[in-house]
Amino acid sequence: MNVQQALQHAQQTLNPISGNAHYAARRLLGHILNQDATWLHLHPDAELAPEQHLAFQDALTRLQDGYPLAYILGEWGFYQWDFVVNEHVLVPRPETEVLVEQAVQWAQIHYPAGHFVDIGTGSGIIAVSVGLLLPQASVLALDVSPTTLAVATLNAERLKANNVQFQQSDLLAEIPPQPFDMILANLPYIDSDELQTLAVSHYEPALALDGGPAGMILIERLLKQSVDYIQAGSTIWLEIGIEQGRAVQNLAQSIFPHAQVDILHDLTNRDRVAKIVIQETPS
Ligand SMILES: C[S@@+](CC[C@H](N)C(=O)[O-])C[C@H]1O[C@@H](n2cnc3c(N)ncnc32)[C@H](O)[C@@H]1O
């Protein structure tokens, strides 16, 4: 099998399961052959070695079974950077760029050198992106899982996000009370029962997805804890599920009666981010 045949075969195989089989086929074959897209384009007749052919077929079978391409590649793009990923972390989602973009725009105006915390940092995409986009700021990145934190730490090192520090913590439980300018979080927010029915639960860590009943357990715990970590002017940015806008808005408003709470939309115009602007320091 040569490069051209391999690409055609992969594209046909992946078409029913991938939104962009053309891209996936090229990324996969490039990874197996250790070549970039230009090389693939220039060498359609290059033959795959038997072990490359085997590895390619094996990877296609795994992808057909729902295994994420990101885990096979060992990296995935988010914002303007490639992040190392493995089975210990959630694969970065483009929806999360909404949170980063909106929070960074706000911080550039209000506190470009602020003190921020990212809770449930996973591969570190939020903390590292914010740290790189706001080099004068300091970012504390937390996760309950040490294996996850190892991936996030590696990403910060590779991308030279020197203003990001990592610590293991169950939400904010291990962090002494202090005012943060921004609290950022993409916590697990899928309803436990619904998660059982979703393909995403087969390979990505349950710890990154399972938000308990109605998907609200961690969001609620964090909002309640946050009272001790804010001051007037602080903002809280939470990624939420597309059906959680109203529930999160009501919850946030009950915990922070004087806050301005808005639900922001993603590119498909669905609820995606809760933005909570604290108006006065809680007494
Ligand atoms: C939805 S993933 C988000 C990962 C990353 N921030 C992103 O946007 O791709 C949620 C993360 O929260 C972490 N997590 C789950 N429960 C936690 C808890 N009680 N305290 C801190 N982190 C937690 C998981 O380990 C996982 O990395």
Write down all domains in the chain, each with its CATH number in brackets: 3-65 (1.10.8.10), 88-277 (3.40.50.150)
Which residue, chain included where needed, has tokens 């490359």? 52
Distance 172 CA to ligand 1 centre (A): 12
The finding on whether 184 has its CB within 6 A of some atom of ligand 1 is no
- pLDDT per residue as tens, the chain (283 positions): 999 999 999 999 999 988 899 999 999 999 999 999 999 999 999 999 999 999 999 999 999 999 999 999 999 999 999 999 999 999 999 999 999 999 999 999 999 999 999 999 999 999 999 999 999 999 999 999 999 999 999 999 999 999 999 999 999 999 999 999 999 999 999 999 999 999 888 999 999 999 999 999 999 999 999 999 999 999 999 999 999 999 999 999 999 999 999 999 999 999 999 999 999 776 6
Cα–Cα distance measured from residue 263 to residue 102, given in angstroms and rounded to the nearest whole number: 12
Which pLDDT value is given to residue 18?
85
The finding on whether 156 has its CB within 6 A of some atom of ligand 1 is no
The finding on whether 225 has its CB within 6 A of some atom of ligand 1 is no
Which residue, chain included where needed, has tokens 């809760």? 274
Residue from 90, 148, 195, 225 whose mutation best tests the ligand 1 pocket (most atoms within 8 A of CB): 90
Can you tell me which atom of ligand 1 is nearest the CA of 78? 9
Strands of the 235-239 sheet, one edge to the other: 164-168, 138-143, 115-119, 182-185, 235-239, 271-277, 260-265
The finding on whether 143 has its CB within 6 A of some atom of ligand 1 is yes
Residue from 169, 170, 187 whose mutation best tests the ligand 1 pocket (most atoms within 8 A of CB): 187
